[in-house]
Amino acid sequence: MLPLLLACVTPDPPREPPPTLEPAGPVLKRLTAAQYGNSLRDLLGDTLVVPDDLEPDAASDGLLVVGGTVNSLSSLGVEQYETAAFDVAAQALGDETLRARLIPCSTEDDACASAVLEALGRRAWRRPLTDAELGRITDVARNASVVLGDWDRGLEYGVASILQSPHFLYRVELGEDDPELPGEHRYTSTDMATRLSYFLWNSTPDDELLAAGEAGELVTDAGIDAQVDRLLADPRARAGVRDFFDQMLMLYELEDLSKDPAVYVHTSSTVGSSAREETLALAEWLAFDEDGDYRDFYTSTTTFIDSKLATIYAVPAPSLAGFAETVLPADGGRRGFLGHVSFLALQAHPTSTSPTRRGQFIREVLFCTSLAAPPADVDTSIPEPSASYPTMRARLQEHMSNPECSGCHMLTDPIGLGFENFDGLGGWRVTENDNPINASGDLDGAPFTNAWGLAGAVHDNPNLGPCLTRTMYQYATGHAVDDRERDLISWHADGFASHDFRIQWLIRDITASSGFRRVGAVE
Amino acid sequence: MKRVDLSVKPRPTKHSQPGVREQHGGYSRRTMLKGLLRGSAVAVALPWLEIFAGRRARACDDGFPLRFGLYFWGNGNVPEYWVPGTEGYDWELSELLTPLADVKPWVSVISGMSVKLPNTEPHTSGAAGLLSGMSLDTINGEYTFAGPTIDQIIADQIGGETIFPSIQTGATDCTGQSWNGPSSRNYPETNPYTLYERLFGATFRAPGEEGLVDPSLGLRQSILDSVMEDILALQSRVGASDRARLEQHLDGIRELETRLARLQEDPPSLAACVQPPALTADFADQEGRPQISARSRAMCDMIAMSFACDQTRVVGHYLTDPVGDVLFPGATAGHHSLTHDEADPQSEVRAITTECMAELAYLLSALANIPEGDATLLDHCVIMATSEISQGRTHSLDDMPLLLCGGGCGAFKTNYHYRSYTQENVSTAMLSVIRGMGIPAASFGADDGLTTDSLSDIEA
């Protein structure tokens, strides 16, 4: 940045130079189902109906994007990609609006087909096609149009061909020798276009970003900064932040939420989807509308609910259909993400709460602490509710006192019991089996008397910011981080803390990171 | 089982080595047919004996191929209500096995066997140890099987002759337990409608059905050729782990290519093969609970017909996942929660396990209701039913629940209870199954799960 410009803004606090990094080698990243869908809609049109019968994403190190660098595609997955490619191609040629967008020329000949496939190929593969590649795809289309006697049908095969290629299904970012640092490697400028757009938009680069990549602009600080500014100002950046929180908090699991309606009368087949939307809306609002402090995610009384959630929260429903911003009452006991149905219902059982799961989630997902699995060959039962064990706290006592269990359960259960005023769906309650609920406890030395206080203790916990930094770094780079990156991640975490934990600041900081821009040799 | 006239031509017998490939000279069945008829376009339905004679998988004495099914449910059982009190051919149904009464002649119980590998992760260690014979592995903090599961070991050997080398189905939203190796999982199809479309949808042709070959099949192949070129070129530029992942992707492409080629051939002429009626049921959850039974039965009907049409010879059917907390009908909590929290004698857990056996009985009956030659489809099947642990509450890997069902073409004792009193390695039973399928495997498993001996007590 120019010194002249620096004078115009509040100067950043002095920052140590980043630690040097020995970067990991490149890995292929298979698109997640969300990236696949977003990319196709950006390529072909918003009205495209993206098939959802795809190989399920599986998390690795907590993130689906990392799973996309580790897991192999099954034979069924290959077949599903083929079916989806033809489904999408048929829509792209069969729908009048989508067809007009795809085909700029009016003559139905080889030249037009080739031009269409060249343009789509460049966008879909996120780089220009070689002559040989384009030749093969146009051959497929020409052959199909002859056999089927239909130019459009032929083009469908060309489009389906582009969409089944590994160059579309995987992000191929292999890097190059760094001309300025002999012996070292960096991501190429076109690689960086792809890395920036999937990190910030969770989708494929647009024409301008691709052009900047192809022009070699994305190997410089200024070139990257300019595009990051533009990308963050685009509505697609909101979708990007939503996807990050969706993956980190595993909110996608809410689509399969199962609660017994005999126990939880306010449950329904769509309550999981509503709960997911509430949390994503809060994250989006905090990051963009507020440009806010990540820690407030845990203490915000502002939230976004529909009538289903309003019923569970026992607050007035929004006057319009759908979701609306609302402020939860200050004396209601509920605030922040940890008061959302998304957290409370997902980290629970179909007919009961689970203080262990709730506590474990905070340790593992919010604080990045790994816990050992329970011993496999022991009786893990807890007493059924009875006069002797009227509450969950009483029932869990065995796990917290038996030395074989207490090592881990003391890390999870005392925190999780802080949420016992919320039932297994997230509704408020003050008694359990007619016994008053004791929701007090302490989080790493910070005492709390209930979930409201616990939310504050989580907000203030020193692990919160560094853990988000680690998770976002991993989300951005798309690989499982290793020890070689620990110092660099700590450095980013320190910067995050000294910039009021602003989510957008962290996103920008990571786009400038050597961890995001440099790569090792192919291993 | 009545034997048929063997005079048509020699074919593999029970004691041949079907794991060794028979030579076809690279000709497809369609080509061979045309050659026989000197290129004439006359459509001739070959007798079923000849259809199977050229194929390389194990054939039963009556010429039909032997099929393998894995039937899996999560969270184990309650052993004291599972293990029959009597042994040998005089065994009697235990409480949890009562739903199998009608198909008992085709059921053998193997009890008292153990997974010998370390039980480090509840449920998952057991699933990996039982089905792959190997310890669970960890990559990036996520568990993965370290080697292929028994269904894929079998499919690798006998799956090459059919449209689908194997299929996986899930009656609930589950991930299944089929692995090719580390980080390479075969997810089940969990939507009955999608399963119907794959097996019996637009590309299905009933035996003897006349009609032109769909030209789009060849065009689809040309795309796969192009994709394969892309993958091969990419493989030379990436690291070792990505090369291996791309190889899995290539395997999928090759499988699809083979399928497209097969779909251009005439379907096998099999008397029992008919296109099932389209599905009409709504399989959505009811009262917040999945319709496990209706979904499973719809899938099992399709599995039976896909065997009868020889679309596949290997199936994995997953009722629920390990640790699955599914709300079964009538249960007061999820299955997994109940296994841990319900007090003895765990009447709800027992009711759920009984329901799992009722759905197994449905599958076996569906297979038994399809005649094949002078026998039934069930006579030509090995259906192995099991779960990842024995007792749910303790995650014990001793006294694993294991049933071998179906006639197995005479490879196994049927209607028999074998009880081990020495906690034998359950891998020996897996090796028996693999060898019974006609695969001359030298061993199964690794480390403490390794065995080179099969369980001869259950073999006929």
Distance in Å, alpha carbon of B292 to nearest chain A alpha carbon: 14
Q: What is the pLDDT of residue B279?
A: 96
Kindly list the residues from chain A whose CB atom is less than 8 angstroms away from the CB atom of residue B141.
Answer: 60-62, 370
**Confidence check: pLDDT of B158 > 60:** yes
Residue B7 contacts A, CB cutoff 8 Å:
no
d(CA A410, CA A399): 8
Overall pTM > 0.95:
no
At the fourth CATH level, the homologous superfamily of domain B29-204+273-458 is Alkaline Phosphatase, subunit A (3.40.720.10)
Residue B237 contacts A, CB cutoff 8 Å:
yes
Q: Which of A28-37, B10-19, B356-365, B393-402 has the lowest mean pLDDT?
A: B10-19
Average pLDDT, rounded, for chain B: 87
Pairing of strands B381-386, B67-72: parallel
d(CA A6, CA A453): 41
**Confidence check: pLDDT of B33 > 90:** no
Query: A374 vs B122: CB contact, 8 Å cut-off?
Result: yes
**Confidence check: pLDDT of A1 > 80:** no
d(CA A282, CA A400): 34
Distance in Å, alpha carbon of B288 to nearest chain A alpha carbon: 6
Yes or no: say if B252 and B153 are a contact pair by the CB < 8 Å rule: no
Residue B395 contacts A, CB cutoff 8 Å:
yes
- Residue A121 three-state SS: helix
d(CA A139, CA A151): 13
The residue with tokens 């061993």 is B443
Residue B396 contacts A, CB cutoff 8 Å:
yes
Pairing of strands B375-376, A185-186: unpaired
**Confidence check: pLDDT of B27 > 70:** no
Query: B249 vs A78: CB contact, 8 Å cut-off?
Result: yes
Kindly list the residues from chain A whose CB atom is less than 8 angstroms away from the CB atom of residue B147.
Answer: none
Q: What is the pLDDT of residue B46?
A: 36
- Residue B211: pLDDT band (50, 70, 90) is confident
Interface of A with B in 461-500 (CB under 8 A): 480
Residue B393 contacts A, CB cutoff 8 Å:
yes
Q: Which two tokens stand for residue B445?
A: 């498993």
- Residue B57 three-state SS: coil
Query: A523 vs B285: CB contact, 8 Å cut-off?
Result: no
d(CA B377, CA B305): 10
Yes or no: say if B33 and B266 are a contact pair by the CB < 8 Å rule: yes
Query: How wide is the angle at C-alpha B135 spanned by C-alphas B131 and B136, nearest 5°?
Result: 90
Kindly list the residues from chain A whose CB atom is less than 8 angstroms away from the CB atom of residue B284.
Answer: 269
The total of other beta-carbon atoms located within 10 Å of residue A469's CB is 25
Distance in Å, alpha carbon of B333 to nearest chain A alpha carbon: 5
Closest partner residue to A136 among B226, B234, B249, by Cβ? B226
Yes or no: say if A164 and A81 are a contact pair by the CB < 8 Å rule: yes
What's the whole-number mean pLDDT along residues A60-86? 96
Kindly list the residues from chain A whose CB atom is less than 8 angstroms away from the CB atom of residue B237.
Answer: 174, 522
Q: What is the pLDDT of residue A9?
A: 53
d(CA A197, CA A124): 13
- Residue A407: pLDDT band (50, 70, 90) is confident
Query: B180 vs A269: CB contact, 8 Å cut-off?
Result: no
Distance in Å, alpha carbon of A13 to nearest chain B alpha carbon: 36
Closest partner residue to A376 among B125, B256, B290, by Cβ? B125
d(CA A353, CA A347): 8
Yes or no: say if B11 and B59 are a contact pair by the CB < 8 Å rule: yes
Yes or no: say if A34 and A444 are a contact pair by the CB < 8 Å rule: no
Q: What is the pLDDT of residue B108?
A: 98
Query: B249 vs A58: CB contact, 8 Å cut-off?
Result: no
Question: What would the pLDDT profile of B106-137 be if each residue is shown by its tens digit?
Answer: 999 999 999 999 998 899 999 999 999 999 99
Distance in Å, alpha carbon of B400 to nearest chain A alpha carbon: 14
Distance in Å, alpha carbon of A291 to nearest chain B alpha carbon: 32
The total of other beta-carbon atoms located within 10 Å of residue B106's CB is 24
Residue in A with minimal Cα distance to B219:
A144
Number of alpha carbons in the 13 Å side-chain half-sphere of residue A265? 1
Distance in Å, alpha carbon of B182 to nearest chain A alpha carbon: 8
Interface of B with A in 110-149 (CB under 8 A): 119-122, 125, 139-142
The CA-atom distances, in angstroms, between A179 and each of A172, A182, A212 are 21, 6, 19
**Amino acid found at A338:** L
Residue in A with minimal Cα distance to B221:
A140
Closest partner residue to A380 among B249, B253, B340, by Cβ? B340
Question: What would the pLDDT profile of B235-244 be if each residue is shown by its tens digit?
Answer: 999 999 999 9
Q: What is the pLDDT of residue A387?
A: 87
Kindly list the residues from chain B whose CB atom is less than 8 angstroms away from the CB atom of residue A79.
Answer: 198, 252, 255-256
- Residue B448: pLDDT band (50, 70, 90) is very high
Residue B232 contacts A, CB cutoff 8 Å:
no
Pairing of strands B371-372, B314-318: unpaired
Yes or no: say if A452 and A334 are a contact pair by the CB < 8 Å rule: yes
Query: Residue ranges per domain, chain A?
Result: 30-171, 179-234+485-523, 244-371+384-460
Question: What would the pLDDT profile of B43-54 be if each residue is shown by its tens digit?
Answer: 333 333 333 433
Residue A379 contacts B, CB cutoff 8 Å:
yes
What's the whole-number mean pLDDT along residues A511-523? 94
Distance in Å, alpha carbon of A118 to nearest chain B alpha carbon: 16
Helices within A53-130 (DSSP H only): 64-70, 75-94, 96-102, 110-125
Residue A261 contacts B, CB cutoff 8 Å:
yes
Interface test with B, best of A63, A76, A475 (most B CBs within 10 A): A76
- DSSP secondary structure, A26-43, as one string: P--EEPPHHHHHHHHHHH
Query: Residue ranges per domain, chain B?
Result: 29-204+273-458, 214-263
Interface test with B, best of A57, A74, A271 (most B CBs within 10 A): A74
Distance in Å, alpha carbon of B187 to nearest chain A alpha carbon: 7
Of chain B, the percentage scoring pLDDT greater than 90 comes to 77
Query: B186 vs A148: CB contact, 8 Å cut-off?
Result: no
Yes or no: say if A440 and A449 are a contact pair by the CB < 8 Å rule: yes
Residue A351 contacts B, CB cutoff 8 Å:
yes
The residue with tokens 């032929």 is A154
- DSSP secondary structure, A235-297, as one string: THHHHHHHHHHHHHTTGGGGGG----TTT-TT--TTHHHHHHHHHHHHHHIIIIIS--BGGGG
Q: Measured between alpha carbons, how far apart are the two ends of chain B, in Å?
A: 15
Query: B139 vs A60: CB contact, 8 Å cut-off?
Result: yes
Q: What is the pLDDT of residue B265?
A: 86
Closest partner residue to B119 among A376, A380, A480, by Cβ? A376
Closest partner residue to A167 among B186, B189, B230, by Cβ? B230
ipTM of the complex: 0.93
Kindly list the residues from chain B whose CB atom is less than 8 angstroms away from the CB atom of residue A255.
Answer: none
- The 3-state secondary structure of A368-389 reads CCCCCCCCCCCCCCCCCCCCCC
Burial of A362 (0-12, 13-18, 19+ CB in 10 A): buried
Residue A356 contacts B, CB cutoff 8 Å:
no
- DSSP secondary structure, A372-432, as one string: PPPPTTS----PPS-SSS-SHHHHTHHHHHSHHHHHHHHHHHHHHGGGTTB-SSS-B-SEE
Residue in B with minimal Cα distance to A521:
B239
Question: What would the pLDDT profile of A421-471 be if each residue is shown by its tens digit?
Answer: 999 999 999 999 999 999 999 999 999 999 999 999 999 999 999 999 999
Residue in B with minimal Cα distance to A350:
B334
* Nearest to B457, CA basis, from B106, B111, B6: B111
Q: What is the pLDDT of residue A363?
A: 97
Query: A350 vs B223: CB contact, 8 Å cut-off?
Result: no
Yes or no: say if A419 and A443 are a contact pair by the CB < 8 Å rule: no
